[in-house]
Amino acid sequence: MRVSYLERLNPEQGRAAEYGVVPGASTSPPLLVIARAGIGNTNTLCARVAHLNVSGSDPGRVLPITFSRRAVAGMIRRAEQICLQALGAMAGAITNGVIWAGAFHAVGAFLLRAYADQIGIDPDFTIRNREELLTRLVNGWPRSRIGELTPWHCAGATTV
C-alpha cells in the first residue's frame, strides 16, 4: 500500500521517489532524475526527500538539487509539509536535520570552492555568463580577427 504523499505522483514519479528506499535503512542509493521542465520534477524531488526521511534515512545525507533558487525554497517547504503530514510531531527532528539543498550551479560553486585546494584551483575563481565572456573575448581578441568570432567561442560560458 502506498502512502498518501506518493499517491499524488504518476507511476514514473512514484518509481523515482521510492527508488532504493528500504524502510529503516540509514542510506539509499543515489538517484539522478532528468526530465523536461514543467512535468513535476520538484514534486518528485519533494516526495523523494520526504520518503527517504519518513523511511528512516539520515536527513543529513540527503542533498536535493534543482535548477533554480525559487524551486529550492519551494522544494524544502513542501518536503517539510509532507514529513509533517506523515510523521506528525516527530517531523521536526527530521526536517531540522536536512542540512542543505540548493540550486545546481550554487551547489557546484560551493563544492568547487570548498575543495579548491584539493583539486588545484583558486577558491576565489569567478564564474562569468556568456555576455561577460564574450566581452572579455572580444576585448582581448585581435581587432583584425573580430569577424572570426562565432557562438562556439562562447559555448560553455564559465571560466575557472
Residue 159 forms part of a structural domain: no
List of E strands, 1-160: 65-66, 102-103
Same domain, residue pair 131 and 99? no
Same domain, residue pair 43 and 71? yes
The string of pLDDT tens digits covering residues 94-108 is 556 665 788 888 899
CA distance 102 to 85: 23
Structural domain boundaries enclosing 137: 126-154
Residue 121 forms part of a structural domain: no
Dihedral angle of Cα 63, 90, 13, 106, to the nearest 10 degrees = -20
Query: What is the reported pLDDT for 149?
Result: 58
Return the CATH number at 31: 3.40.50.300
Same domain, residue pair 131 and 105? no
- Number of folded domains that form the chain: 2
Percent of the chain with pLDDT over 70: 78
Per-residue pLDDT averaged across 5-17, rounded?
Answer: 89
Same domain, residue pair 55 and 30? yes
Same domain, residue pair 80 and 137? no
CA distance 45 to 103: 13
Query: Are the C-beta atoms of 107 and 63 separated by less than 8 Å?
Result: yes
Q: 44-53, 78-87, 118-127: which range is least confident on average?
A: 78-87
The string of pLDDT tens digits covering residues 12-67 is 999 988 998 887 777 788 888 777 777 887 788 888 888 888 888 877 778 888 88
Element of type H or E holding 134 = helix 130-140
The string of pLDDT tens digits covering residues 32-46 is 877 777 788 778 888
